[in-house]
Amino acid sequence: MDSGTKKRLLWSLLSNWVSRLSSTLIQLVQLPVFLHFWSMTLYGDWLIVTGIPTYLSFSTTGFGSVAGNEMTMMVARDDRAGALRVFQSCWWLIVALCAGIILLLSGALYFLPAARLLGIGNISESDTKWIIFYLGVSILLGQLEQLLQSAYRSIARYPYGSFVKSLMSLTAFALTLVAVALHQGPRITALVFACANIAGTLFLALLVKRDIPWIEFGFRHASVAEARALVRPALAFMCFPIGNAMNIQGTQMAVNYALGSTSVVIFAAARTVSRAALQMVQLVNGTFEPEMTLAFGAHKIELTRTLHRRACQLALIVALVIVLGLMTVGPWFLNHWSRGHVPPSRGLLSILLLVVVFFALWSTSSTLMTATNQHQKMAVVYVLATALTCAVCFFFAYWKGLYGAAASLLISECAMNLCVLPASLRIAQDTFPAFLASMFTFPQSLKPAALLARLRSSKPGLENDMDNPV
């Protein structure tokens, strides 16, 4: 690994840490604040309603990710004209899809009894529809943020893009808490959150225009053929948010149907605590993924293989350390964090933490597949595995309560480990014995003391390295 790659990895780790910290802060603060001003049953219904609009992001999420990978690999080969062509083609494709889906959403909400279908009893039918509409529009337009962040990623300034996004998320969340503290209901709270996110997208577009001169907003370089080429890998990318939604909102709805909204709050709270470890694993993924794209795009297979090995090693270490810590203090924290509203169930938390350990290896290994747009087969397996998990979750929850619901989550994690690792090793031209041996080898350059020393000795030139295209 050359010094430029190591420096970018270090700064990427720091910026992703800020991003995950902000995400964790949002999750930790949300529950006690909402429960202080709202009833437990109202908050449970809020979780169900706000989970529905996330399904709308499936239509566009994949295009921003796939376009970002293509742009990054093109810039790595010094093809900025091609990267601009991909950017404009994807921009207008996302805009067209969002416009069509907003029209369909409006029609569906006009005719369907949303609150009754969701089993909502504490939010009115009218408010339920407006919440879904506000958040749906916000999420759809917010998909352009992914493409805008990809522009920074293509010039190896992804830490900056990630940092700006974190500030935007914290601002939107803070404004939402203000609405709740002012005793506003779910409908106004959703409107405030949506407006803040839409304003953030516009702000990010202005930053991209200022910071990356060769990025142009328009359609002069857009190409129908380029947009068509993005469709197949993008459709596969959409499977991940679909799977994630089934894994999170889908299982929560299964618990709601089997055990009621109060159990949803208990299950969601315990899962939030367990996902502190998952957040740190995803921090590792976000740190290494852009460099994997750059290395593979420049045909540096040895560097690609090294990045894959070190990412998996670091993710496993982080997961195990945090899981052990949460098994000790997690129940106590859960009880005090919820102010006694959520019982400190060590058994439930232990099962959810076991899920995180299984998640760590396959999710980090899969980063190599998504970073190089070779994820189609994995995406199909993920959707099927999480769909099965959703169905099993309902029956296990009905049969064994929240313990059964938590245990059902292991199904998708085991299936993904069997699917992902062999495929990633083929891309990296690696073998399983060599990969396994690398998990027990610790390069001097990646030890914490060496990383801190490098950060302290960094000069202003480090920022220049990040600003210049690779």
Residue-wise DSSP of 147-192: HHHHHHHHTT-HHHHHHHHHHHHHHHHHHHHHHHHTT--HHHHHHH
- CA-to-CA separations, 398 to 404, 418, 425, 440, in angstroms, rounded: 8, 29, 40, 42
* 3 state DSSP class of 221: coil
d(CA 220, CA 314): 44
Query: 133-156: per-residue pLDDT in tens?
Result: 998 888 887 778 888 888 888 877
pTM summary value? 0.67
Residue 426 has a pLDDT of 93
- pLDDT tens digits, one per residue of 290-308: 889 888 888 889 999 999 9
What was the pLDDT predicted at 28? 77
**pLDDT confidence of residue 249:** 82
Q: Is residue 467 scored above 70 in pLDDT?
A: no
- Residue 448's pLDDT is 55
Report pLDDT for 444: 60
Give per-residue pLDDT as tens, 358-385: 888 899 999 999 888 888 889 899 999 9
**Please, are residues 1 and 306 in contact by the beta-carbon 8 Å criterion?**
yes
Residues 6 or more apart whose Cβ sits within 8 Å of residue 450: 444
Q: What is the Cα–Cα distance from 302 to 117, expressed in whole angstroms? A: 53
Is pLDDT above 80 for 3?
no
Percentage above 90 pLDDT, the chain: 12
pLDDT > 70: what percent of the chain?
A: 90
Residue 455 — pLDDT band, cuts 50, 70, 90?
Answer: low
Distance CA 9, CA 295 (A): 13
Give whichever of 23-37, 156-170, 202-216 has the largest mean pLDDT.
Answer: 202-216
What pLDDT band is residue 464 in, cutting at 50, 70 and 90? very low
Say if CB 345 and CB 353 are below 8 A apart.
Answer: no
Q: Is the predicted pLDDT of residue 453 greater than 90, yes or no? A: no
Other CB atoms within a 10 A radius of the CB of residue 50 amount to 17
Helix (DSSP H) and strand (DSSP E) numbers for the chain? 18, 0
Across all residues in the chain, what is the average pLDDT? Answer: 82
The DSSP output letter for 123 is S
Average pLDDT over residues 24-51: 82
CB 35 within 8 A of CB 339: yes
What's the pLDDT at 102? 87
Q: What is the pLDDT of residue 305?
A: 92
Residue 41 CB partners (closer than 8 Å, separation 6+) = 121, 122, 261, 262
Helix locations, 300-375, DSSP H: 301-337, 346-371
- Of 241, 204, 265, nearest in space to 47 by CA: 265
- The mean per-residue pLDDT over the stretch 78-85 comes to 85
Please name the residue that has the structure tokens 């300034």.
Answer: 157
Do residues 230 and 74 lie in contact, with contact meaning Cβ atoms separated by under 8 Å? no
How far apart CA 296 and CA 400 sit, in angstroms, is 47
Q: How high is the pLDDT of residue 381? A: 92
The mean pLDDT value for 157-178 works out to 83
The token pair at 132 is 């879904």
Quick one: pLDDT at residue 416? Answer: 92
Q: Is the pLDDT score of 425 beyond 90?
A: yes
